[in-house]
Structure formats: structure tokens, C-alpha cells
Chain A
Amino acid sequence: MKKPASDNSRPSRSFRRQHKLAPYLFISPFLLTFLVFGCYPILQSLWLSLYATNGPKSHVFVGLSNYQFLIGDADFRTAVWNTLVYAFWSVFLQLPLALGLAMLLSQKWIKARGLLRMAFFSPNLMGQAFVAVLFGILYVPQYGLVNRAVHPLLPKLIPLDTKWLQNPNLVMPAIVLASLWMYVGFNMIYFLAALQSVDQELYEAARVDGANAWHQFRAVTVPGIKPVAVFVLVTATIGSFQLYELPYLMLNNSAGPKNSGLTIVMYLYQHGFVTGDLGLASAIGWSLALGVLVLSLFQLRMTGAYKGEAS
């Protein structure tokens, strides 16, 4: 389309210049904050992890000895172990339950699906801190709801005065149970959305071919929900590595008896912001980040998410 040059050239040039400048202007508030408060601290923490500090003011270069300290520290090993145990149950107990619930709930003939979905999801509306305060009381021996509800079902195994949060062996199960309550419905929402996107005709075709329920699950459901399942798996793992509020507040602002509820992030908080060694805190942060990164890449590789992307 040709336009008469004289009258339109000026507005169109300013228009074009504005069009070129606009994205830079639009991105700049975010970009500035992102670079200063998001990217700079990442690099800074690498440098800081080589220093022993006492609060924000005093720095002494110590090389890799922060990392050396961590490797030798029994508390850090406890924190890593507890975090791994929690992550294990988050993945292998929570996600299968969430998928199972989603599969039952996605059946068209279920009545009141919306209400049921809402009920399963509702605990997630409470933040972890508030769930922790609630469960701290639900686990009270004798009177707490957990003992009152579970004791009649398993009278021998769970006596009415079971001390969930005072017995070091029961602290982790108590944390896992509370987290199960909070997150199963949340992950179920993702699986439900994924199941809805699976082509129903594929099930029909599989049935015509004589596939039973298990074969249908393997041949139709699994490939259909795979991208979402990988997403849920990776985010649930990353999330579980950051466990902090739930045990800390459930155990009355502590790591629990014999550090049975100590997690990596709790250890980081204690050393960085109670003791005030920001250098050590950075080293802990990097250990956490590397652990998460390695595990996420491993999960992506194992589930073949890479290959799916490439082909």
C-alpha cells in the first residue's frame, strides 16, 4: 500500500520509533529489579560462600572451608537426610495418591465432582505456616484430633497418648502426613487438567483392540498426561527440598527432638540469620541449589522429557 509521503511521514516515523522503543520501556521496571535483586545476589552468593562473615559487616576470606565444614558437620548431614526422606515420600506417596484421586474424580458419572474437587483442594488455601500451627495442635497426645481419630482404628499401634512431635521417630511421619493433607489436592488439580486433555476416542480405540484397564492406562493415559506429570514431578521435588515452615512451626519454632525435624533450609536459617554467618549460609544455599539442579536434570532424563522435546 502506497501512501502520499508528505502528510503521513511524520506521524508514521514517530509511530515507528515509539514501536521500537516501547518494548525496552515496558521491560525496564522488571529488568532493573530482576538484575539488581535477582541476578546480582546469585553471583554474589558464590563469592560470599568463600568468606566467613559475622553479620553483614565483617568478611574474612576462607576459601572452600565453608563447604568443607558442611561435609564434616553432623547436623548438616541430618538436615540433608531429613530433607531427602521428606522428598522421597512427597514423590512416591503424594503424587501417586494425587493421580489416583484425579483418575477417580475425572469419571463423568461421579456426582458432585465440583464439590469433591473443592474439598480435596481446600487445605491448600491455608499456607504452610498456618497448616503447621493447626497440626501442631492436632498432634497433641490424648486430646488431639489425630490420635482421637486414628486410635480407634489402630488401637494397638497408635495409643491415645502417642507423642507425634515429642518422639524423634514419629516426627517425620507427622510432617509427611500433614504435607500429604496439604498437597495431594493441589497436585490432583494438575492431573485432573491433564486427564481432561487426553483424547477420549483413544480409550475407545484401545478397548476395541481388547485392551484392559491396565493396558489402557499404560498405552493412553500415561503418554497423554506425561508432560504435566513431569512438570508436577519436578516442581514437587524442588518444593520438597525447600521444606521449612511446616516442621519449624509444627515443632514450636524448633528442629524438634534430636533434630528429627531439621531440614536444609532450617539449617540455613539457623546459621545465616540466627548465628549470622552469611558466608556459610551462601555455601548451604549453593549446596541446596546444586542438589536440586542435579535431581531435576536426572528426573528429566529418566522420564525422557528431553527426547520428547527434541523429536
Chain B
Amino acid sequence: MNPKTVSTFGRLATQALLIVLAAIVLMPLVWLIAATTKGSNDQFHYTFFAPTVSVQNYVDLFHKTDVLQHNLLNSLFLASTTVIVQLFFSSLAGFALAKYEFKGKKLLTILMLATLMIPGQLTMAPLFELLHRLGLVDSYLGLIIPGAVSVFGIFLFRQSIMTIPDELLQAARIDGCSEFQIYRDIVMPVSRPMIGAFCLISFMGTWNSFLWPQIILHNRNLFTLPIALSQMIGVYNQEYGMLMAGTLISVLPVIILFFLLQKEFVAGLTAGAVKG
């Protein structure tokens, strides 16, 4: 469609429709924030915000659950560690695939593509057995080590590193840079936008993952936020305000990170799809 073919009325109607739809989409989020600020008496008296703001839900969350004391820190630790390991593995492997010729490169690429088509749940039973044998069940290593592999991340980095001109790398070699120095001092700094996108996508993946941590973690002290919340709805399913406070605390770190890395995120998300 073109500006000339759409009437003023059509434009106003479209604009209004989009605003109404956006408001509908945002409503549950506003409700979520409102629910955390209402005391138990006001919870159902007011659909959104009550005239008096209460911090009771957060106080309850602190006293009745470990969300603020343990689970938040657990999730932060686990997600950052996984992101760092994934970033290192994926960028290094992506660099190798983008800028070197080596034996088995084609085979490896095909193998990686094939595993992208396979749902992760297929390997859960044998992986559990393997980790059990290695003594890694009920430990963070049981989440971090299998999580270190990100085929998606490798393709992301391969794509972006391929756009770095070979002359640049060759010049560095002539200046006496080792191959690892080239990776560290040239490839990584140039790939900064992709690193931002990857970190956010990978962080969100680990932060929100539920099924595998549910299988691996048994010790309460190790629980991440999604697992802690699933326990909470079992016990406190009537305490809506507190549940919502736990939910809001759980999504806040991702939202903050998103606003920091917003631009890179959209670019990274669509890079694979648009370039094919």
C-alpha cells in the first residue's frame, strides 16, 4: 500500500485499531504490576490499581518463599554462566567455520543442521542417564555442560564473521598476530552487535527454561525462578498478590537486559531468517 492510495479516514482507523490492539496486549502486564501493589482486601475490589499502595506482597514473598533470597540469585548465576560458556564456544566455532578450511567441515555443518531439526526432548532420557552416570544430576553442571552447545549461536556467529573481509585478518597475520589473537582482538570487537544479540537470546533461553531444570534439580536450594514459581503455585495458589510479585521479580531482569540490548536483539533475531 502507498500513502496516495489510503484515505485520511483509512489512516485514522488503522492508527486507532493498532492503538486499541496494543492497549489490549499491554493490559495483562499492567494488571500484573497492579496486582503486586494491592493488599489482600483490595485484590478483587479493584480490577487494576487500588487507591492505597501496599508492599505486603513483597514482604510476604520474602518471608514465605526463597524467591528473593535464593532463586533470583540462582537464576542470575546460572544464566550468566551459561551465556559466557555458550558465547565462548559458539563464537570460536563460528569463527572456525567462517574463515578456515578444515577436514570434515561439510560433514559437521550437515550434522549441526540435522540436530536443529530434532526436538530437544528426544535426548532427555539418555542425557539424564548419562549425567546420572557422571554424577551431575542435581547440580548446575548438569545444566551448564549440555547447555554449552548452541548450534543456533554458531550459525549466528558464522553469518556475521563471514562478512569480515579476509584482508583484515591477513593484515593482522602479517603483523605477527597469532590466530587466537586475531579472534580476540579483531573478530570479537568487530562482532560486537552480534554478541549483544546472542547474549540476550541465550540469556532469555536459560532464564526461562523449565523442563530440563525440573528434571535435573531436586535440591530446593538450587531451584531457579521458574521451578520456584511452579512450587509456589502448588502451595500458595490463593495468594494472588504474592504470586504476581514473584512473577514480576522473575521477569524484571530480562526486561532490563532487553532495554539495554534492544537494537541488537531484533537484528540478531531476524538475521538468520532474512539472509536465509
Contacts and interface: CB of A to CB of B under 8 A. Distances in A.
A284 to B, nearest CB: 8
B106 interface: no
B49 interface: no
A133 B71 CA distance: 16
B207 A127 contact: yes
A98 interface: no
A219 interface: no
B122 A288 contact: yes
Contacts of A42: 115, 118, 122-123
Given A26-B183, A27-B92, A281-B124, A101 B21 contact: yes
Given A123-B25, A268-B124, A26 B95 contact: yes
A274 B250 CA distance: 26
B115 A120 contact: no
Instruction: Give the interface SS of chain A, mostly helix, strand, loop or mixed.
Output: helix
Contacts, number: 281
Contacts of A101: 18, 21
Contact of B122 (A181, A197, A289): A289
Contacts of A286: 122
Dominant SS among interface residues on chain B? helix
A84 B145 CA distance: 33
Contacts of A249: 210, 229-230, 233
B29 interface: yes
Interface stretch (A71-79, A85-93, A141-149): A141-149
A291 B88 CA distance: 34
A41 B130 contact: yes
B204 interface: yes
B74 interface: no
Nearest to A265: B121
A157 to B, nearest CB: 18
B140 interface: no
A258 to B, nearest CB: 20
Nearest to B146: A37
B130 A45 contact: no
A116 interface: yes
A306 to B, nearest CB: 14
B247 A33 contact: no
Contact of B129 (A56, A111, A185, A189): A56
Contacts of B95: 26
Interface in A123-172: 123, 125-130, 133-138, 140, 142-143, 145, 148-149
B68 interface: no
A107 B2 CA distance: 8
Interface string A198-230: 000001100100000100100000000001100
Given A38-B115, A189-B270, A109 B211 contact: no
Contacts of B18: 101, 104-105, 110, 116
Contacts of B102: 20, 23-24, 27
A248 B227 CA distance: 12
B128 A278 contact: yes
A111 B210 CA distance: 38
Contacts of A48: 125-126, 129
A300 to B, nearest CB: 11
Contacts of A241: 119
Given A23-B102, A33-B89, A41 B118 contact: no
14 contacts: A22-B96, A22-B100, A30-B93, A33-B89, A115-B22, A116-B22, A125-B254, A127-B251, A129-B229, A134-B28, A189-B266, A193-B270, A216-B1, A227-B273
Interface of A: 15, 18-20, 22-24, 26-27, 29-31, 33-34, 36-42, 44-45, 48, 56, 101, 104-105, 107-111, 115-116, 119-120, 122-123, 125-130, 133-138, 140, 142-143, 145, 148-149, 181, 185, 189-190, 193-194, 197, 203-204, 207, 213, 216, 227-228, 231-232, 238, 241-242, 244-245, 248-249, 252-253, 265, 268-269, 272-273, 278-279, 281-282, 285-286, 288-289, 292-293, 296
